[in-house]
Structures are given as structure tokens and as C-alpha cells.
Structure 1
Amino acid sequence: MKIHLFLVIFLGLLPLSCESLNKNSSGLTETQAREAAIKHLEPFKKKFMQALMTALQSGGPEAAVLACHQEAPKIPADSSTPEVIVGRTSHKLRQSANAPKPWMKPYLDQYAGTKNGDLPSERLVALNNGEYGYLQPIYIKPLCLTCHGSNLSEGVDKKLSKLYPEDKGRGFKLGEFRGFFWAEVIKTASISPTKTE
């Protein structure tokens, strides 16, 4: 009788146990975490590209370098919320403010030297503290070579050397992995809308 009662209780709890496998200690499901990350990353990426393109069109590549130095560091804070934090990182840093967090480093090592299509276009990582990490790889496009390629103009080269004396973000080839857009999802309950301009 006791054995039968134990089996009934065990089988009754089994579906709940299976469901919890897709959640972490904060109660997030993988689907919720991924959706929240993308929701916050898209406006962040849009603002970043707008800042660069506006500077490029108004003042050329050197102005874009200056905008990347002065304006780009402000964008992650403007696009983040208490629930979801966003940013950029790379295995070849130009700005120390974009240094990778420990959980990102294995993926930077894995993607370094690869090209678009070689590896998954996103990564969702369950973190030890009950949060989720999310990564979207960045690949070098033709326009990126203006500031991140091997054959830089004299003006861009001087500007980069002045603003980033420890710059390692050069020498990339078309289609090569540049780094990640990333998000850390703390919770999805009552996620507030991202800031828009």
C-alpha cells in the first residue's frame, strides 16, 4: 500500500519536475529569456547603427570613429532596463568598457576566426545566479572594414591610434567574426519597454 501511494505521488509530481528542467531558479523559461533578450537587443542595435551612420554621412569615417568613441558607450545604458542588460563585447577589444564577462569568454574563443554560418546565430546560456545570458554574433560587413579592416586610411588610422592607444580591433576580414551583442536577462515579470528616442 505504501509503495503504491509513493508511486502515485511520484508520478503526479513528474510532469512538474520535467517542466522545471526548462526553467532556472528565477522561474524563467528559455523561451521567455530569449524573447526578452531579443526585445531589448533590437533597439540597442538600431541606436548603435544610427549613431554610426549619422556620423559617417555627416563627417565621413573619422567622424564615425569619434562617434563610436563618444556616443556608443552611452547606448547600452539607454537600451537596458532593470530586468535586461545589454552590451557588446569582442575577443579583440577596441574599448576596455566592452570587456567580456566570464560567461562570455568560452563562446568568444569558440567563435574567434569563424565566418557567418559556421556556428549558430545565437546562444542562450543558463547562468549560475539564476539568470540567462544571450549572445548574437557580429560579423564583419563591407562597411565595417573602414575602421576594422587591415587597409585603413591615414586619417582613420591616426584617429584610432589617438582615441584607442591599446586598440586590437583591426585586421579583420570580410565575413569574419567580430564579437557579440549580448544580453543578461534577470527576470521577465513586468518587463518595462526599452527607451526610445
Structure 2
Amino acid sequence: MSIARRRLSPEASRDSALQAARELLIEAGPQAVTLKAVAARIGRTHANLLHHFGSASGLQKALSASMAETITAKIGAAALRAREARDPREVVDLTFDAFDKEGAGALASWMILSGNEDALDPILEAIHRLVDDLAASGHADKPIHEDTLQLVLMALGDALMGGSMAKALGLPRDTARRLASDALMRTQP
């Protein structure tokens, strides 16, 4: 007995594929985010995903754009709260989680290593927009661009090898997060 597939709008089909790709990224890493695996997860064909994304690298670029928008929206809201509370820890935690638990660090590394660096553009553009928006909303006097560079690089490095490095040095696992928070506190007026 065959189960008829539900007809989805192009937007719903694309959103479903991106959600499945994100789940695969988190569950099994970036190498698991293939057109075939995503199609199987959502009950669609490989050709359907080719229609929406053009290629595996197109899927990865769309995934990075989707993740970047979601993540920077959360971080932007947290940054505004952190200004009032004068405590950057929520921003640090969200940034580190985005690169670690949400898979952005693994995806970025995979794209660089596979030669698909242009798929990083949506992430870089979303971060740049967020930083510019935060600077324009009243804190242009702060070194927000430098703070962002430092935070993103620390979060990426921590996602890739922070656990192993902390263990090797006999430090608590959250040491990099604490160091990032301390650094941001030092730049506050």
C-alpha cells in the first residue's frame, strides 16, 4: 500500500528541507547534509531538492543563510538585553551554542575544507548586519566590530576543539565562555 505524499507549496517544501538539513547537521555533522539524506528525511525526491537548491552546495548555502538569520536574531535581542543589564554572558552563551550545539562551527569548517567558502557569505553578511544595527542603535563608541570578531573566533575555536583543549589543560569546559565574557566586560564603559 502506497501512502500519497502531501503536496507542499514551494516555500513549505524548501522550509521542510532546510529544517531536515539542520537536524542532520546537529545529529550527524555536516558530512551528513546531502541532497539524498535530506530528501529521504522529508519523503521527497533528490530531483525535488535539486529543483529548490540546484546542488548540494546550494543546499549548504541556503542552510547557512537560514541558520544565520535565526541565530543573529536571537543574539541581537540578547545583545540589547545585555546592554541594559551590563552582563554579556547571554550573548556569549548564544554565540558559543550557535557554533557548537547548533552546528554552525562544523558547517563553516566543512564548507571551507570542501572549497565551498562562498556558502559562508550569508553567515558573514548576517553578522555584519547585526553588528551595524547594534552600532547604529547607540553604541557606536564601543569597539563592537572588534568585540564581535573576538567572540566569533573564540566560539568557532571552542566548537572545534574547546572540549579537548580544556581537558588537555585541566581546565573546566566552560573556561573559554568565561574568558569571552570577561573580555566583553572589559570593553564596556
Structure of higher CA gyration radius = 1
TM-score, with normalisation over the residues of structure 2? Answer: 0.33
Q: Greater helix share, 1 or 2?
A: 2
Q: Greater strand share, 1 or 2?
A: 1
TM-score, with normalisation over the residues of structure 1? Answer: 0.32
* Structure showing greater relative contact order (alpha-carbon pairs closer than 8 Å, 6 or more residues apart): 1
